[in-house]
């Protein structure tokens, strides 16, 4: 992930650690997240909506 810009009305939260990154877009009670991990395996991207 190079960059993430939220649309109007959304809040962006970012967590960064040594082997993973999480980006979450929030609006009201809606949450959309992307997780990228790259420990000893090839990079993996998972997404979820809540």
pLDDT tens for 30-48 read 999 999 999 888 999 999 9
For residue 7, count CB atoms less than 10 angstroms from its CB and return exposed for 0-12, middle for 13-18, buried for 19 or more.
Answer: exposed
Given this model, what pLDDT does residue 40 score?
85
Given this model, what pLDDT does residue 1 score?
60
Overall pTM > 0.95:
no
Residues 1-35 have pLDDT tens digits of: 667 788 899 999 999 999 999 999 999 989 999 99
Distance between CA 2 and CA 4 in Å, rounded? 7
């Amino acid at each position: 992930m190079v960059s993430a810009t939220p649309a109007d009305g959304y809040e962006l939260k970012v967590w960064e650690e040594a082997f993973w990154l999480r980006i979450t877009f929030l609006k009201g009670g809606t949450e959309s997240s992307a997780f990228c991990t790259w420990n000893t395996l090839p990079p993996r991207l998972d997404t979820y909506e809540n």
